[in-house]
Amino acid sequence: MFKGSNVALVTPFKNDKLDVETYIKLIHFHIENGTNGLVPAGTTGESPTLSHDEHEMVIDLCVKESKGKLPVFAGTGSNSTEEAISLTTHAEKIGADGALIVTPYYNKPTQEGLYQHYKAINDKCGIPIIIYNIPGRSVIDMSVETMARLFELKNIIGVKDATGDLSRVDKTLEKLGKEFIQLTGNDDNALEFNKKGGVGAISVTANIAPKLCSDFQRFANSDNDNDIKDAEKLNEILQPVHHAMFIESNPSPVKYAAKLMSLCDDAVRLPLVKVTDPTKEIVKKTLKVARLI
């Protein structure tokens, strides 16, 4: 099962080119610090501004460098069904454990259009697929009923829920059962999300606090009361960090935080820009309080 703390990996750049050496170091940083799974080429990995070759390369590197030590769920979504099929079949071919596929943005398909989009991808591949439902960026919201239809297909196994609506966890659990994997895409609601039946997160904060996030998830997924208390303590430490990562558009704040920790440069690709000085001060202060720097 894909659960626990799964990092939505940033893509480091140098002179506006993919910084391969630093990317490999980041992958090993997560292997060594307890991250439970790797998610390359997602929104946090700036997939909209990666070339097709770069997109495939970051997935290739992730699979190669993890060497089976961590599961890799590659970001292979697109608002073009054919492109999503191409990226997903490539990820399968080179050994990714699964695919994270975002709902098609900008096109605004109907629920039937969403179903047919994912069915077309499902029918062309043989690896597990996690639906990425993020209305804030995609404009559309996949309904629980549509997910239930998709769960009947061979490869659809779960959802990354970035709606921010905790009631969706209950509705999804009631309709699809415990076998359907529910991961939050919102770091700040991870504790309550797990209490309601979720099993983990695809996390932005895990880029800079992998051990804290993995320890938190391990405790939060426990049935032991003492572990839950430990999860609550870690949640208090992490909440200011979570919020600081979204003061400006993701991944600019987390890349600045990574720079402060000497993990990678804070370069992002237009139309994203580096964070402003006031945001820098907040991020810096937050990391110091959390003892990350």
Which residue in the list 23, 115, 118, 160 is annotated as catalytic? 160
Please confirm, yes or no, whether 115 is among the known catalytic residues.
no
Residue identified by tokens 């239930």 is 148
Which residue in the list 23, 115, 132, 256 is annotated as catalytic? 132
Please confirm, yes or no, whether 175 is among the known catalytic residues.
no
As a whole number of angstroms, the distance between CA 129 and CA 79 comes to 16
Catalytic center residues:
132, 160
